[in-house]
Amino acid sequence: MVTGNFNTNIKYNGKIYHIQTEIIRGNIITQVFDGGKILISRKNPYEDYNSSVKQHKEVEDLVKCGKF
């Protein structure tokens, strides 16, 4: 079963950031964590599986570039 939920860890500037994307009540919610603290959160309406993949990748790219 494809869920649209993702978890990845990205190393930037010597720190590991956890990126989590979930589908909750019809919304895609992607958050970046540093040691349990939420640094950023992005929320958009769920359209399909590809929209959740796209949002997760966009946030990953922000972290990789230090733009968060």
Is 1 among the domain residues? no
Query: What radius of gyration do the chain's Cα atoms show?
Result: 12
Question: Residue 51 domain-assigned?
Answer: yes
**Does pTM top 0.85 for this prediction?**
yes
Cα→Cα distances 27→5, 35, 46, 66, Å? 11, 24, 5, 25
Q: Considering the domain boundaries, does residue 22 fall inside one? A: yes
In the chain, how many domains are there? Answer: 1
Q: Express each pLDDT in 28-68 by its tens digit.
A: 999 999 999 999 999 999 999 999 999 999 999 999 999 87
Q: What percent of the chain has pLDDT over 90?
A: 91
Mean pLDDT of all residues in 9-22: 97
CA dist 14 and 3 (Å) reads: 31
pLDDT band at 2 (very low <50, low <70, confident <90, very high): low
CA pair distance 48, 11, nearest whole angstrom:
28
Range of the domain at 28: 6-65
What values do phi and psi take at 36, rounded to 5? 90, -15
